[in-house]
Structure 1
């Protein structure tokens, strides 16, 4: 039997409903465990509930005097009455046990009692017991206690006395089993160890021995009336008897070998069934593997292309950083054109001033007023020359800044072209593998199953290799067994076996049977250890594969990190170039330019360009426009550098993790 659960309510020191389920964790996998606690915690109450539910009695109450009584409401009851376990101040209580009987079925035994109207002050009522088959949900007994006793003893295979002496010993009764007489101990041990078959063998051996002894006496009586044989005939018969006994011993040894071969054949059938099942599973797995072959190939390609996904992000970042640079180049080109036009106008004014100076010098000798006008024109000419020199210097700085900006942009455009070509190749590869994205999620689910299939396949190949030899041995053993049995029957018919020899053979067979069982358990233990070793080897191989994958991934991350670092250096250089260009532009807006701009007057022509419109005459508007432009270019370059630094930090974190 096997106890599955114990339930009780309002018994002794345990108040209210209480349950212990041995089929639930942590008790289901605990193996050997102990129930501990202080005095009065309810340890003995649990054992009392077990006996009470099964047999309606408690062993520790049997030691109390049967004539001793305790008061109860309006009467008295014996102290050995199990109803005394009902907790004081409660109206009802019960004990219930779920167990597996010797027939393998699940049962529930219940004992319960209550007071009148379930009130704590009511009169104590009689106890009730019932037995239920949980597998069929059928109530087997709930009326007669004698019927219940027969049913519970048949399901447990033990009566109350045997149960309390072998399964559960009450306090102060540990020697009860030792004090029992030989007959009781023998019956109890036979039920506990299932050795009743040996008692049957002993009785049968005794019966065979008695029959052989009677036959021997009858032969003796017959021999007394027959004259003895001649010495030669007697010697010949004794020799035949000796040969027959020797053949009998040989046949018995062969019989033991045949019995061992029979066990092997039984194991062979089990292995054949396992091989058939494994073959079916392997065939199904191979079909699944063949069906998934294209998806595995696509998944492999997708995993190869996965490290290149960052190139798409890099392309988007480069596109965003190139737009401000293109705008800056366009502005530099426009400024260069304006400066060239301004230079042409200044050169034309210089030529006009030179012509006017020549004319003034020719007229100097004839007219003093014309001379004074010439001096004025000369002063104007000097002023215009200074403006021209400043414009030339500004144009030179702008041309230098434009040249450096174009060189930086050409480098960025060349790098963008190379990255774009690489991204186009990666995009084409990803377009062919886009259908494999969901397969990566299901790969982990198939990995464990494939490992199991590989293990089954190895066992199947081993079984297939050993199968022909085992089949040949089985056929030969069956043929030998048939021949040996025929010869053994012939020998038994020709020469009667002595009782002592039969008893020795029975004892020898029992010893060999025990040795065979021990060897079988040892083989099963070796098989279990071998299976565990194979599992450990597979786990080690899986860990090595995972370590190699992690190393490859780390190497790939290092490559990507070096590339990102190189891109960061280029971006920082671009930022430095942009900052230098902006600094040169700020220098171009120097104090001299601001001084010339401050001399402009509304509706008066500009002495440099000749225009009557002065959009940047107001310094606030000019500074705001130029400041916004400079801040936009510098912020764009800094954003590119910060993005690359963040990407580099993420790659370092992945490598360290």
Structure 2
């Protein structure tokens, strides 16, 4: 890490903004430099700025926050520090600043602003915590390591050398990060302890397991086999009862549904009956709807005809009104023409009078008014001057009177204070005496308070002694019963422990934990068993229903086959009968030809000479065969309906059977999945699921819960007794401590009484002496005051009374001093008043003469003004009489306006007449159109009325009123049609549903699972469930004992195996713990710190060989972390480092500091070093050695800065930064070249 540049502002005495660029050519040429200046100038502040920017704190101050900043320059509103540094060739900039509110020096501190950026790159962090963490991560140095390796600050240079062994251990751990060895040692210790406890726990657990012998296990197996057989019998009986119960419930439900559905069908039929009246209205409305278009056409024609007639009437009314308006407009036009001619003559006369009379008159008035204004202005000016002179005379007279009164009052006051010059001479002496008197009175008051306090303390000490004695006696009475209770508590604890397994809480807690684990495992299996039980019940129900359904399907198939055979037979009979009747009809149609056939004559149809059909033909009964055909057709239809109905039922049952098979397969799959979970459950390992599994697990759960409750209560009893014993022991210790405290208090009280008595006697004598001195001083002060005969005012007598002086001496002195000052001021004021009064009298005489002259001038101007005003008033009266107040221009405009108004009115009248004429023509044309349209609409109305009347005559309606009564709106018709369709559809749906329910009830009743009724079946099922539950509890108890024995055997084997594995691991950890383990981590930490110290001593000796070859360091054999110095010039004599002189200590500390810098640079190479200590204690030779060492370090490429005011150092190092201390204000400055100007940089 290398510091590239430093910029800071307003830190300590360095006010202003400064920047030191360590990359400047001067630092490149000579990287060894010294920072010089007077003590307190601010040299160390430069190093503080580096720490502040990097770590937000300094070696001399804690972290700077919003509430505390002692580094900001006094009287400034902000400060900052910025450092540019490089790590592994990459440059960064870290910035810190803080301001006060509004930038004012007295403003509240604001939160600091921090930022870390890559130079020329992105911002890495802006929060203070993140900036600090990133700086530490990038440099590998926290604040402590930085101040021990790169920046060696004041006061910490020799900290490591002079530290004790404990302090040195902490420093080594902090500097080198060896705290990990302490953590490793503690971890080894804790891990070994944990493994040994686990091994002990496994041993205790294997001892508490109890197992069955072979005879007990055989008896238990026999009992379980018997119970299993009984369980199967009970389960079979229970399933049969469940099937019967379900059949009875379903039959009852179907009967109830049929009754309900019958009621629903009846309600629908009732609704259809109520709808018959609305049906008739709907039919009439549908017939009336056919006439509606003709009726609407007629109504529309009548409306249009009436509308045109109304419009024609409105047009005629408008024409009549327009004619009246036209006549009025013509009359108005004639009047306006006459008015215009008269106005033109009047306007000409008015303009002549304005030009010949009014204009000359106004000019005369204006001239005289201008003269009047000038005279008025002169009058006002003269009046103001006169008034000013009068006011000035009055004011001067008042001033003269006031001055005379002030002078008189002041002279009386001076006469009354004639004693003050005498008091002024003695005032300093009296002041000194009063100060002495005040000190004596204050001392006397303090002594009095002290004496009173001593009296109170003596009384309190006596009371404290008495209270302590009483309390000691009371405590002794409490100790004996408490000791007896404590002994009894120990006996009770031993008795309670004897009831626990292993007579130990730890052993009992282990057994309790095992029982809780078993209970949790048992509880986790109950949902699995419940689910398997439900699956078994569902499987039994579905299997039973499947059997019954298959039997029903077989019977339905047989019945369906019978109906099919019967239908085929009936169809054949129908076909034969139809054929017979068809043949009979053919024969009947040929009866005329049959009559013509004779023997030995050819047949008219076939020409045959033989006619056997005529001989063998027998006539059939056609009506009988037709009746027979109808019966057969009816039977065939019924057989087909029965076949279709039964076929539909058969398909429904087949679907039900398929659903049952799917459900059965799903249940079997689910059962298989649950049985796999059963097999994989650790608690159920070795057990097989059966009907008694649920009862067995419930019994195990109950047994484990009872054992946990009993063992928990026993452990809690022991802990309660132990808490009681601890409380009683604490009480006994408290009483003993109270007793000792009381004895100590008693002794202190006696000592205090004796000491207070001696103090009281001494202080009483001092108080008496001070009282005597106070009285003497008061008499001296009173004797120096003026005699009462010299005082004129009663207030002076009171003021100089002893009570006023001695009660408030400071106030009295201040008042006397003020009176002396006031007296001197009053003398000066008297002289000034006399001089002012003489000057003011002269000024008053001159002012009276000036006022007289100005009054005469004012009278002359006033006389001239009155004459001119009379002339103006006469001319104005003449103008007003002839022309009024208007101006010539206004009169001309009025005349022209009146003429223009008459012309406008005439034009308006003409325009109105033209508009009315146009309106008349438009109305006449519109009237002609409406007359033609009215004739056309009238013909349409007659035609539409004729068509409607003819259609009404051919309908079922008698007249138009009858037709209108039958009409319904479109919404009403749609509503009635929808209601009719809804009732029909609803009746069909509900009737079909009723038939389906009746079929299902018949099929259900045919199954006949039991002769019992529902209540008997319910009671029988409940009794069966109770028997099964009792049997399952017995079975679960027996099976639980067997499984518990199996689990105990498996667990015992597992514990033995774990114990063997743990034993091997425990041996390894025991050996490791003996080597490095310890509870506080000191064993391994001390070893690691010793190794680190050896490395540090080795590095320090290398550095010291370059500094001074006389001394070497080594570790103390007796104190592993202590250091000793070897004096190579004194036969390798070994002595303690504390025997080194100041200069020797500096050299050794410098060697250690350089070694520490190398030691902590394992992550980051240190390329900069700043020293702020120690050079002032070196002699010339030692200083030379130190400088040579620094020059060698500089030769390696390191930047090295030294703070010092040693002249030899300044002479040796040419590259210097001077800190110049100011002559005043406490501020310092660097050289001008380091002053930073933000404006110049930005430009």
Shorter-chain TM-score above 0.5? no
Name the TM tier (shorter chain). Answer: under 0.3
Larger Rg: 2
